[in-house]
A and B are shown apart, each in its own frame.
Chain A
């Protein structure tokens, strides 16, 4: 939302006007004004507390005012809902205003975002209050008429959630230019569950607020919400740290092996594309991405001298390098969530005809993930520039893959990859320092490096699959 489209501005202004219109009858409303003020102050205090506690942490809500769905939901939503359950609609609409207008907003344009959030929350609260009021829910809350109070609160929660998501979808479509249908799809259902939990907490707040124990007791309801929000923020921070650690791990491998930067990440990306094309669910696809990213992690265990050796490799040296899948498997053995990815790391150099390593598995014996990673690895090895040869263009690499399908690669994976590339193209997220291969489709053919009959390494990397063993680039580990 760097430059706000004019229609989005109009939309925000209209929403603000609608919110103002809801609050018009305020002077004529009979409402417990001290309670309204108390609710509003509480809302603002919660908002400021959240901002001061987690400034710059990029908590779960981050800065998003309109960016992500449900961004307007914060841990103190129960306060607004409790206000909606107790106050007449125009008064309830005033409650979220001070908090939303005072809140810290990270992204620009700040003023517009503040106005937007205030208007959105005011309208949603007003709608919830209206529904609740017209169902006679307020009396049910005040007299603790229990099963009925739940019904009225449920209806109010649905109204709140509906208004919130409809408005959210509108701003997504106008400001972020998300297609309208995509903007609304699932938004309501996704936010209903959290809003319902907030609604129950809000109901209890309202009941206690009006009980002899007073508003102070009602505040206790907020504590579990605050704690879970805090934990959620911690969770996000820890997860970011975890990702950084994995990135550091693969960077170490890339540097050690003299790869162009980002090889591991790109293999992860290509593996993910194949997974999607094969129709794997999100969870498996994510694990497969990690398998691709970490496939060469065992190279940390191979002496740098060998990995970077310039001349031909002796058979012993080659054997040492060929240990890297087992090293990698040994290293990640303790990481529980990797699951199937561990087998991919162990077997990504197996070949369909059984001539690969470490175990010489054949065909279906090779785990599915390993077959995927093998294709992705070979493709990226061919399309990126290495110290000893230039990158090959994508079509040439695909031809190579297809030629070796059946002997080296699983034809199903190759087909899936080709289909995915035709549909989406190849846009590596982390490009090499050199010109990315897809930018120059008319590359001159890769220059042949002088062939040394003893060294499969140089030869097959430069010239593609060796006719005898048919090795395509591999991950550059040699034979």
Chain B
């Protein structure tokens, strides 16, 4: 442990300013992102140029798909953490990329035309969103262009040369091939999204990819299925299939929206419950929120998955709720300085309150075990414990507090604080500059 504590402290811990590391790191962060965006822009511009030069084949189909994609973009919903915010546009774009026949007649749209139509329609559909300043449009479009280009490059040349029908005929095998191509595209999209998120946030790539893939199982699978069905149904029934297939997918989007809304409300209610201790004067203002944000960052650093992070966040928000049962407040709300038995008693009281609230039982377990020695704790509980202790010490100690707080945590790694968590916390602080808890 001594080697660990001798490690040079992150520059972030300096008292000079809250965000020095953020100032030191960013030049590297957007570089990868800029490169990806530049590639997408290049692809789009090249496709548009080629298409303008050569003219558009199959105007009816191009127009129908463009309208579908444009409307899908218009109906996009800038949800907080949604993986696919414009499912209709995504499905339409994929279907256009994988379009082989239109009502029995083979089509010969080249890759450039497909990319050009999708780009133009998406740009038009995005105009109102950009005008209202909603949602990160650039990344959204980047992903759309690169994903569609991937699908089109995989499918169209093979189809136009007749190889595809040679291999698979026009029966069920062809449908299976389309589905397989879509799966490949979904995989590519997930990798792309995870890579972009990684470039933006510098969270570890593995868990990000896992979360993206899990998201693909939800609305992503509905989008892929609709994309495949659209491509096949247009081949059989012509362009009438498009509006008919829109409605089921819109229903899916609606369900997701309602779910997202109720989740948001729920999170807000939990945060309010957490604020009760602050308003009662048991804990400093903003403490629960800061512990939750920092715990989430540490959990992500340690590679916890999406649902685990939610449990961790809820538990961190409510970790002090047991103090509500105390008749007199603990001075400064600093539970980390209390005797272990007392800490554990408060933790158990908190668990009892949390169990009444209807959140998952795992949350209550984390709250209950937050004061145990780390060897007996689940990882999430040890994260809450370490972050809480850091927050309390760093907040009290004034300038230089973050240094001292980390130092104390490192000294406590024999029994109280899990060493990996403490080191992860140090890395998060160095990176994100969440050092002075008084900020925010």
Contacts and interface: CB of A to CB of B under 8 A. Distances in A.
Chains A and B are bound partners: yes
Given A200-B244, A231-B255, A248-B353, 7 more contacts: A212-B171, A220-B232, A221-B245, A227-B255, A235-B259, A248-B358, A336-B265
A208 B329 CA distance: 68
Which has the most chain A C-beta neighbours within 10 Å: B179, B229, B265, B281?
A: B229
B359 A327 contact: no
Q: A interface, by DSSP: helix, strand, loop or mixed?
A: helix
A144 B236 contact: yes
Contacts of A330: 275, 279
A20 interface: no
A17 B159 CA distance: 54
Interface string B62-86: 0000000000000000000000000
B37 to A, nearest CB: 30
Interface in A179-235: 196-197, 200-201, 203-204, 207-208, 211-214, 216-217, 220-221, 223-225, 227-229, 231-232, 234-235
Contact of B247 (A197, A217, A251): A197
Interface stretch (B145-153, B219-227, B338-346, B423-431): B219-227
Contacts of A334: 268, 271-272, 275
A213 B174 contact: yes
B327 interface: yes
Contact of B358 (A201, A212, A234, A244): A244
A241 B266 contact: yes
B103 interface: yes
Interface string B132-174: 0000000000000000000000000000000000000011101
A241 B175 contact: no
A224 B172 contact: no
A300 B232 contact: no
A331 B276 contact: yes
B274 to A, nearest CB: 9
B358 A217 contact: no
A326 to B, nearest CB: 9
Interface stretch (A42-50, A163-171, A302-310, A377-385): A302-310
B249 interface: yes
B256 interface: yes
Interface of B: 103, 170-172, 174-176, 179, 218-219, 221-222, 225-226, 228-229, 232-233, 235-238, 240-241, 244-245, 247-249, 251-252, 254-256, 258-259, 262-266, 268-273, 275-276, 279-281, 324, 327-329, 353, 356-359
A301 interface: yes
B362 to A, nearest CB: 13
A234 B259 contact: yes
Contact of B248 (A197, A240, A243): A197
Contacts of B170: 212
Which has the most chain B C-beta neighbours within 10 Å: A213, A239, A242?
A: A213
B240 A150 contact: yes
Contact of B252 (A203, A211, A228, A302): A228
B273 A245 contact: yes
A106 interface: no
B237 A214 contact: no
Nearest to A249: B273
Contacts of B232: 208, 211, 213, 217, 220
A301 B275 CA distance: 9
